[in-house]
Chain A
Amino acid sequence: MTAINALVLTGYGLNCDHETAYALELAGAKAQRVHINALIDGSVSLDNFQIMAFIGGFSWGDDHGAGVVQAVRMRTNIGDKLLAYIARGNLVIGICNGFQCLVNLGLLPGFDGDYTNRSVALINNDCGNFRDDWVHLTVNTASPCIFTQGLSQLDLPVRHGEGKFFTTPEIYRRLSANQQIALRYATAEGHPAKGAFPLNPNGSLDDIAGICDQTGRVFGLMPHPEAYNHWTNHPQWPHLNERIKRGLAQDPQGLTPGIQIFANAVSHFAK
């Protein structure tokens, strides 16, 4: 099988490049960290990649709305190349600041193949502050999202100040009807968080943590799958470790659920 090449955007205040590249490598891709300017000046071409990661961070300091300036720069300079990249059947994942950038670019929700329309937003958390915590998530198994295939429930960390998903009732109905709502904040048992803080950490509409386009190939989420790259990232790992020591649990096998999200992207091309 030929290598699946993944591009990890860097520069201008983005900051999850090392661990996102590491996560993609664990998932079986060949990851390359590429500066936004290298795409713009053409020294690196999107043609060589199948997976593109818009990563977390504070692009341009997030001073004018999270992900806004990055979206302006990318749309202005390489908007057409991005659209062509998606049209070729490739995958895009936007994590946290990357998700914010995708919605400001209009790559999400991407109704009817229109990837230029801003119709949803991620705004200030209701708690009024940046918040770092782990959350429980449920996957919409009816969603076409490629990244969440085979997953039903998982825990991931969130770390953001502007993660409250917001849109109009009309757009929400379309997202819901199209099964584009791929990921929701939930209780430990997998029931809906129903907006309750801190289970739903930001006040997101309908507990929305991540959405995809109608093809399932473009996916944005606020939680950070790349920060669950090892079983000891999970806050309850010491408890599990003690159970393993006493023969009450098995050593963790295989990929973490965080890495599985990237592995789904890689295996999409193997099919």
Chain B
Amino acid sequence: MASRIEVSLKPGLLDAEGEGLRRKARDYFGIQIDSVRTVHIVTIDAALGDEQLQRVQHEIFTNPVTQISSLAPLAIEADWVIWVGFRPGVRDNAGATAVEAMEDLLGQRLGKEEAVYTSKRYCLRGQAIKESDARRIAAELLANDIIQQWKIFSRDQWRPEEGVGIIIPKVRLDHVPTLTVLPIDSDETLQRLSDERNLALNPNDIPVIRAYFLDPRVQAERAKVGLAEPTDLELEYISQARSDHCNHNTFRGLFHYSDPETGEDETISSLFKTCIEAPTLTLEKQKPWVVSVLWDNAGVGRFDDHHYYTITGETHNSPSNMEAYGGAITGIVGIYRDPLGTGRGSRLIMGSYGFCVGPRDYAGDLKPRLHPRRLLDGVIEGVRDGGNKSGIPTPFGQVLFDHGYMGKCLVYVTALGIMPAKINGKPSEKKTILPGDLVVMCGGRVGKDGIHGVTASSETFSEHTPAGHVQIGDPYTQKKMHDFLLEARDEGLIRFITDNGGGGLSSSVGETARFSNGCKIQLEKVPLKYAGLDQWEIWVSESQERMTVAIAPEHERRFFELSARHGVESTVIGRYTNTGKLHITFDGKPCAYVDLDLLTAGFPQWRFDAQWRSPQDRGLHEPVLREPRDHSQLLLDMLARPNICSKNWIARQYDHEVQGTSVIKPLMGVDRDIPSDAAVLRPVLGSSRGLAFSQALLPFYSRIDAYHMTTCTMDEAVRRLIAVGGDPEHLGGVDNFCWPTIQYHPVDNPDGRFKAAQLVRSCRALRDLCLAYGIPLLSGKDSMYVDGHLPGRYGESHKVSALESLQFSATSVIPDIRRCVTLDPKMVGDLVYVIGSTADELGASEYYDLLGYVGCQVPQVHPEAFLTRYRALSKAMGQGVVASCHGIYRGGLGVHLALKAMAGRLGLEVNLDALPADGATRNDKLLYAESAGRFIVTIDPSRQGLFETVMGDVPLACIGKVTEIPRLVIRGLDGETVIDLTVPALKAAWQKPFGDLS
């Protein structure tokens, strides 16, 4: 029998959650609510006695100091009650931990069919609240119908003795697992089946698949194990492995690139091979610190003689666009599994985020599934809970607003780990599998999660069908697994480890089986969340928090002992073999028998037509603009731009101190509120070596040319490292491409050829700058199809495509953290220098955007000159000559001088006529050009000579000094003061847009 416990704060105690809801309803929708009380509901679907129920009520679910609770609905005054609970099959983390706590307290296990579900009801008071308001609060603030259900009660409808009723979102499939054999009598039949079953097979692949299954040798071998035509599981396996997500068909495609203006015409086979793999292989030979690249879940670089760091990054765009919180938490928790599955396992040491969304105050006609404001709130919370609850610091991140992300948002997540160079005397980065090793699945259980991604789900919703296609990450389960696997690693129990991510077992077992050349899996052994999954569903399910591990049979006992110690579920699901076959059975019956090398043989390359059109050809030109007169107001308005202003409310929600390794934090300066150039950690406690990390994202320049977008982005990431003391001889990179669809279609994608050309140019730039700066690509991923179709005012729909976007992450190792430098000026009287010259490069700048222009002259990177500069500055920092350093990034010199003044809470007096310039001859251009390769540094006057000597013939100039009175005073080219603003005035403008958020 099911029962229900309602828990709420004692009357009179501030309900912070309710208060947050009240504020949001007012700020977002103008709905006036007087007060909100939150009631937590624990619904227990288990046969417990009264006494047991009361024990769990009082000892687990009620804090006697602060809470009241009742087995009947609590009597709390309300004009409206909104109840929100999960749909069946959605991960209820609190429900799961409730079961653990109850089992512990009562000393008995709950039955197989018994469970605990959590939900909430919100008691709203306010005479002015209308029913439509209550609906809006439910649908647009509290719940997302993909994962949640809700009920609304007016004062009249509310029955105090019944409350919300007892709602049990239990999954009941009532389905006998069925394996289906699929006929392949013709290409058309297979194509039809692919469409019907959402297999998403590429039409060009279909003849290859048929040819394989019709091959007499294959048929004879299959007959011996009892199989003839392909099973649904086999086709699902092939479809997963051949998907763009797993196989990177776009980056491995054949591009025909042409530039009608220059007559250039080139065919490129695989952008991955030519622009990513080739330069990285070249650099791997030159850079002894590169340990392992291009094959494992993450790249590996040397931190010191005894430790390696691991790094990778990816995106979780589509799921986050549907369910922001669930998508983002699944994304960050998922990326953590990659370093954990690198080498024989690395411990996570940090994560980072990059969010690209539509304007937060969007008030236009388009109706995205989630308003950008709500979407941003959700992804912020998702990464917060994912990171904080994993005990992994999040010391760096970026947020960017652009209309193009209304169609689909971008959620970049990056993770770094560290591992000993040797485990039991053997290199930690190497791993392989021997025939006879056990295939072990660790962590969470398997349900109908993430099957066919977010696009599929052909099922209609009923009360008990699982809403499995969007998931909610469970950092608690994963943290337990993380701790367990690292202990197993240190005992030498792990032969091979990999993540269960996209593609589930199909991908993780399918790929690892290549190391031993075969496997035999007993699918019935895979632990399920609920009964009734078909075999193919078990095989491709993307249920989270799972790793696949290969262990030698002699380690089975100890491995499972440790697993139990840590409260982690692990299961042997088969053995690796050397038969060359992927062989799967279910209760002894054959489900799959496929040659592992099928996937490497003979599938046709995807083809793309790429036609470049120069900016001039596209009608772009510089605006006809005369210099503004009110420079002070202009600077204040620049500081309040959404892409420039303070977003501290996000950084403060992220734990960036856990593990005790923090050296340079995300927010630095006297008031701890200005974003630092890069993060620095001391990942090995007791060592004074530092690991520096930075990221950059400048998609705006793609409006002019994705080549320069790419070089500027990479240069910024590198410059951020140099600014904190990074070593220019150790630069690691991670590329994360997010691109709109590039396949040309005359109606659906008429500019596909141009977008394809942008991708080719971006990849060429990546290759060029990697080689010029010496950056091996330690890892990288691509995410295509960043487009969305949004309904408009009249029922029409609009395709909205994102800007061609590349997030570039960079790492460096700092021999001694004492050489690290922050951006805040520290001493009155210090000299202010600008390193690097300012050119007439305002194309796609923040300044032009403010005035409504794109322009044409995009910033350019001059790698040789810049690298010389970075080496010289690094040397100066090594000699301790630099008191503060800050790169000049988006927004230009004016914005970044203001940030420096705010960081030091000191004054800066500078003259623009002293500034090294190269073609920029006007105050507004000098202040807001976004030329790359520049820094602002402050120097002790007594070390000016040494500084200038070390810097050699690098373009630089002393443009002023640090003053005691906190004012930013800028004199223009003619010597007149053009800007004179106090630091509090600057800060007020910079904090204005989001300063009230916390």
Whether B391 and A57, one on each chain, are in contact in the complex, defined by CB atoms closer than 8 angstroms, is yes
The answer to whether A242 touches B672, judged by C-beta atoms less than 8 angstroms apart, is no
- CB nearest neighbor in A for B663: A232
- A77 interfacial by beta-carbon distance below 8 Å: yes
Q: Are B660 and A22 touching (Cβ within 8 A)?
A: yes
Complexed CA–CA distance, A167 and B824 (Å): 42
Secondary structure of the A side of the interface? mixed
For residue B594, give the distance in angstroms from its CB to the closest CB of chain A: 40
Task: Give the most central of A61, A118, A228, A230: most B CB within 10 Å.
Answer: A61
A224-B657 in contact (CB<8A): yes
A194 sits at the interface (CB 8 A) = no
The yes or no answer to B883 lying at the interface (CB within 8 A) is: yes
Contacts A69-B60, A130-B388, A238-B821; is A10 near B483 (CB within 8 Å)?
Answer: yes
CB <8 Å contact, A18 and B685: yes
Does B452 make an interface contact (CB < 8 A)?
no
Contact between A64 and B97, CB atoms less than 8 A apart: yes
Q: Mark contacts of B5-35 with chain A using CB atoms, 8 A cut-off: 1 yes-contact digit, 0 otherwise.
A: 0000100011011011000000000000000
B389 in complex: contacting residue of A61, A168, A228, A243, CB < 8 Å: A61
Chain B residues in 8 Å Cβ range of A131: 652-653, 998
Contact status B13-A132, CB under 8 Å: no
Q: Does A30 contact B (CB under 8 A)?
A: no
> Does A125 lie within 8 Å of B105, measured CB to CB?
no
Q: What's the least CB distance linking A194 to chain B, in Å? A: 17
Q: Is B479 an interface residue (CB 8 A)?
A: yes
Number of interface residues of A (CB under 8 A): 69
* B880 closest partner in A (C-beta): A245
Which B52-79 residues have C-beta < 8 A from chain A? 59-61, 63-66
- The verdict on A114 contacting chain B, using a C-beta distance below 8 Å, is no
Tell me, yes or no, whether B768 is within 8 Å of chain A by CB: no
Contact between chains at B97 and A61 (CB < 8 Å): yes
User: Chain A contacts of B536 at CB under 8 A?
Assistant: none
* CB <8 Å contact, A15 and B391: yes
Give A20's nearest chain B residue, CB to CB.
Answer: B660
Distance A157 CA – B883 CA, assembled complex (angstroms): 25
B764 CB to nearest A CB, Å:
39
Contact B105 A72 (CB under 8 A): yes
Chain B interface size, under 10 / 10 to 19 / 20 to 34 / 35 or more: 35 or more
B389, closest chain A residue (CB): A58
B546 within 8 Å of A (CB atoms): no
Nearest-CB distance from A220 to chain B (Å)?
Answer: 14
Interface 1/0s, chain A 40-83, versus B by CB < 8 A? 00000000000000001110111111001100110011000000
Partner of B101, one of A56, A73, A128, A242: A73
Which of B97, B480, B565 lies at the interface centre, i.e. has the most chain A CB atoms within 10 A of its CB? B97
A63 and B97: CB pair below 8 A?
A: yes
Q: Is the Cβ of A126 less than 8 Å from the Cβ of B14?
A: yes
Set of chain B residues within 8 Å of A144, measured between Cβ atoms:
none
Closest-CB distance, B945 to chain A (whole angstroms): 16
**Chain A 12-25 near chain B by CB (<8 Å), digits 1 or 0:** 11111011001100
Given contact pairs A13-B479, A13-B480, A235-B668, A64 touches B60 in the complex (Cβ within 8 A) = yes
From 150 to 176 in chain A, residues with beta carbon under 8 angstroms from any chain B beta carbon are 157, 159, 166-168
Task: Given the known inter-chain contacts A58-B476, A118-B64, A227-B660, please indicate yes or no for A132 contacting B655, CB distance below 8 A.
Answer: yes
- A239: Cβ under 8 A from any B Cβ: yes
Q: Which of B63, B480, B654 contacts A118 (CB 8 A)?
A: B63
Are B60 and A37 within 8 A (Cβ)? Answer: no
Least distance between A172 CB and chain B CB atoms (Å): 12
Closest chain B residue, CB of each to CB of A168: B65
Interface 1/0 per residue, B539-572 and A, CB below 8 Å:
0000000000000000000000000011100000
Supposing A60-B100, A121-B65, A128-B998 touch, asked if A15 and B668 sit within 8 A by C-beta, the answer is no
The verdict on A124 contacting chain B, using a C-beta distance below 8 Å, is: yes
Whether, in the assembled complex, A187 has its beta carbon less than 8 Å from a beta carbon of chain B, the answer is: no
Q: Which residue of chain B is the closest to A117 with respect to CB atoms?
A: B64
Q: Say if the beta carbon of B686 comes within 8 Å of chain A.
A: yes
Cβ–Cβ < 8 Å partners of B880 in chain A: 245
Q: Does B98 contact A (CB under 8 A)?
A: yes
> Are A166 and B66 in contact (CB-based, < 8 A)?
yes
Which chain B residues numbered 429 to 467 have a C-beta less than 8 Å away from chain A?
Answer: none
Give A133's nearest chain B residue, CB to CB: B652
Complex Cα gap A61–B821 (Å): 37
Q: Mark B932-974, 1 if CB is under 8 A from A, else 0.
A: 0000000010000000000000000000000000000000000
Report B695 CB to chain A, min CB distance, Å: 19
Q: Which residues of chain A are near B685, meaning CB under 8 Å?
A: 18-19, 22, 229-230
Q: A58-B476, A60-B100 are in contact. Are A127 and B662 (CB under 8 A)?
A: no
CA–CA, A57 and B389, complex, Å: 7
Beyond A121-B66, A132-B657, 14 additional contacts (C-beta under 8 Å) are A58-B389, A60-B476, A69-B60, A73-B104, A119-B65, A127-B998, A159-B657, A167-B65, A168-B65, A224-B660, A229-B685, A238-B668, A242-B826, A246-B940
Measured CB to CB, the residues of B under 8 A from A are: 9, 13-14, 16-17, 19-20, 59-61, 63-66, 93-94, 97-98, 100-101, 104-105, 107, 118, 384, 388-391, 474-476, 479-480, 483, 565-567, 652-665, 668, 670, 672, 682, 685-686, 817-818, 820-822, 824, 826-827, 880, 883, 940, 998
Closest 4 CB pairs of A and B: A15-B391, A19-B660, A63-B94, A61-B476
List 29 A–B pairs whose Cβ atoms lie within 8 Å, in order of A's numbering: A11-B483, A11-B567, A12-B567, A13-B476, A18-B660, A35-B565, A61-B475, A64-B98, A68-B101, A72-B105, A118-B65, A125-B16, A126-B16, A129-B652, A129-B998, A130-B655, A131-B998, A132-B656, A134-B672, A157-B657, A159-B388, A159-B655, A159-B658, A167-B65, A226-B660, A227-B657, A230-B682, A238-B822, A245-B880
